[in-house]
Each structure stands twice: as structure tokens, then as C-alpha cells.
Copies of this chain bind each other. A is one copy, B any other.
């Protein structure tokens, strides 16, 4: 293994340095908006790309390639000479020493912006954490895709009904947009793909269960949006299990609190998120029970003047949102823009207004021509909501090429009733990790 310097090798500068943790919606947007050349900016992420989380389920369902919804961070900042990108894992933050410690070395900061988002919450159930799938990274989405098609292949060689059930049934936990969109996409696969690709299989044997602990899907949306989503999914053949929760999983049987166990080797867990701990900074003073940093009206982490948190990992209590804002992309984007502007003008004496979240509504797609749109003034369903969903997601994607590739794939899938990417491809050969282990 090659030797490595003890720091991230950022060129020295007399400008104050802003270190940004995470290149998600929050971190990336902050750096894009923060165009003050009087600062040096260091952006650190564990990946070399920004990933567009709202479409992960389409990667899992073989409708889109990872590259269509990921964008290389370096490309975004090719022309920003004061921006330095480093791929590293955050290990610790030392606010006294103004130091970020990563697995690749340390870096000093004058200002710190934290936007590392949330991770899947398994509610301390180790078995579920080990054996289920979640949809929080592109790598995980690819993992689900490969497993789905591996299991369909295997099911053809099985003459035993229960063995086949384990391979071809799906249990999705969590009735938020991710769970709803995944269930809808699986129902469409069952209807349009399976009968063509796996002629020897009885599509009627493929069961899709969606488990939601509450009374309704899409909590937070209006009742009419919830009912629409429930009706759409039921009509498409998804079995809705409401008011129940998954309590255990052994990799084959999904155990519910109330109902009978369900045989399924694929448990897709979209039941909740929590925030990762930042050692050195996540003291009891700073975080709430979901691990979110308590921030003031300017997104500053409690107790610090120079440390900001934005997006899923920030909890700002306001009159409108007494328990913090919803953990959605819009909040991250707006907080990041706010902090970029706040920090930009920090030298000025003018007092800055507090952050105010502008809610633009919530969307969830269920299938072809079917979506729900819960907008600030009214709620919509059907084809129009579906068009809005398409437009909003396309608009939010970074990169003209990505937009183009996604549109082509969507049109292709729409008109052919088919997805093109049912490929089980895994990286092979020597990796840098293998090198480090050896």
C-alpha cells in the first residue's frame, strides 16, 4: 500500500476555508451557490459523484442506469478554481481545533457546512439490518436489481411452490413515497415484464406486499392523496397491509406484529431514517433523538458560530414546523441556498433574515399515467399528476446529458411497456479495497 500524507493536501491559501461535508442536495447546492471567490472551498464526499435519490427505485427496477441519475462532482466544479474536491470518509470533527478528520487525512476549516443526510433506520433490529435491502445509495439500488433478477432466474429451476414464493415474492416496508413508488414499479413489472421474460412462471404467483405501520400510506399528505395512492396500488394488485409492522426477519420469513408470516427472500426496508453520528460533534447538547443537529434560524449548529447543518441532518424548530422540517430534498436545497447567501454576506453588518421554508408540495408516482400530487393549494391525481412528477424530477436532475438519457429511457419504457436494463452485472477483478486488505 502506498504511503499517504497526513492531510488532504489542499493548497495553502490566505482566504478563509469553508469545508463542506457531503455532496448531496444540501452540500452540492451550497457549493454551487456559494460563488464568493474570497473563500477557499473544500467539498468532501465518500463518493466521487452526486446521486439523485428520488429515482433510486427506478435503478432498482432496471428502468434507469445509475449513471443517468449520478453526476461526477468534479465535473460540476471544473471551472471553479477555489473549489477542491476530496473523496474520503468522515471520521470525526474537532470543533475546538477546527479540524475534520477523514480516512484519507485531516483538513482545517474556518467554516463548516454539514450536509451528510440520513441513513436507513432499522430501529436497532440487527436481523433486519443484516438481511433486508434498503434504497439509500446507488450501490444498494443496484444490489436490489441484481438480486431480483437472480431470484427470478433461480425460480425457474424450482418445482416447489414455497421455494418459488421465497424467490419471487416481495415485502416492502414503509408507506412513504419510496415504498409506494417501489411497490407500484414492482406491480408493473409483474404485469408487463414477467409474462414475457419468464413465460414458464405463473405471474399470479408473484405477490407484492406493502406494509405500513400507520392507518394510511403517504403520511403527511392530504387524505384524498392517500386514498388515491391506496386505490391505485390495490387496483394494480399490491397487497396493502396497514396498521401492522414488521418485527423480525430471518432472511426467508417476514414476521409481522399482527398478521401471519410472509415467505420472501427480498424484504425492502423503506420504513424510516436516522442521521449518522458525527463523532466529536454529536454531543447530547447538539442532536435530537433522530440524530439531527439542532440548528438556529440561520442553520448554525447549537453552540457554534461557524458550523452549519443543512437538509436531513438539520433540525430547525419554527412556528410552522415545531419539530423540525420534513426530511425532503426541497428543504436541503433551500437551506443550502440560504447558508450560501448568509455566509457570503457575513462580513457585512446587515442583519440577515432567518430561514423560511417554502413548501412546494409533495409528489409520488405509482405507475403509468398514475401519480399523486399534494400541492400547497390542492391535490391532484392521475395523468396530470404523473406529468407533473415527470417534469419536476427531470428538471431537478443535474446535467443535460442525464436529462436526455432519462427522457429517452422513460419514453422507451413507456411506449414499449418494457424496461431495457434487466442485466445482472457485478464489478469483478482487483479493487483498491482488495489492495488495501492485502
Contact = CB atoms under 8 A, between A and B. Distances in A.
Interface of A: 2-5, 7-9, 11, 47-49, 65-67, 70, 72, 74-75, 78, 81, 84, 86-87, 104-105, 130-134, 137-140, 142-144, 146-147, 149-151, 153-154, 156-160, 163, 166-167, 196-200, 251, 265, 399, 401-402, 404-405, 408, 412, 418, 420-432, 435, 438
Query: Which of A72, A146, A154 counts the most B-chain CB atoms under 10 A from its CB?
Result: A72
Nearest to A416: B401
Nearest to A267: B430
Given A2-B160, A9-B200, A150-B432, 16 more contacts: A4-B163, A9-B158, A9-B159, A47-B425, A48-B149, A67-B420, A67-B423, A70-B425, A72-B197, A72-B422, A74-B198, A75-B418, A104-B157, A131-B430, A146-B431, A399-B420
A335 to B, nearest CB: 26
Contacts of A160: 2-3, 5
B404 A408 contact: yes
Contacts of A133: 429-430
Contacts of A157: 4-5, 7-9, 86, 104-105
B9 A432 contact: no
Contact of A48 (B70, B153, B401, B427): B153
A75 B46 CA distance: 36
A291 to B, nearest CB: 21
Contacts of A166: 2
A432 to B, nearest CB: 4
A429 B143 contact: yes
Query: Which of A65, A428, A431 counts the most B-chain CB atoms under 10 A from its CB?
Result: A428
A429 to B, nearest CB: 3
Given A67-B423, A158-B2, A197-B75, A147 B84 contact: no
**How many subunits of this chain does the assembly comprise?**
2
Query: Which of A144, A418, A430 counts the most B-chain CB atoms under 10 A from its CB?
Result: A430
Contacts of A425: 47, 49, 66-67, 70, 138-139, 142
B401 A196 contact: no
Given A5-B157, A5-B159, A157-B8, A143 B428 contact: yes
Given A9-B159, A163-B3, A432-B150, A427 B143 contact: yes
Given A408-B408, A422-B72, A156 B432 contact: no
A75 B149 CA distance: 13
Contacts of A2: 154, 158, 160, 163, 166-167, 265
Contacts of A196: 78
Query: Which of A4, A140, A404, A423 counts the most B-chain CB atoms under 10 A from its CB?
Result: A423
Nearest 3 CB-CB pairings of A with B = A143-B429, A139-B428, A87-B153
B9 A156 contact: yes
A88 to B, nearest CB: 8
A75 B143 contact: no
A86 to B, nearest CB: 7
A3 to B, nearest CB: 6
Nearest to A198: B74
A48 B149 CA distance: 9
A106 to B, nearest CB: 11
A412 B432 CA distance: 30
Contacts of A265: 2, 435
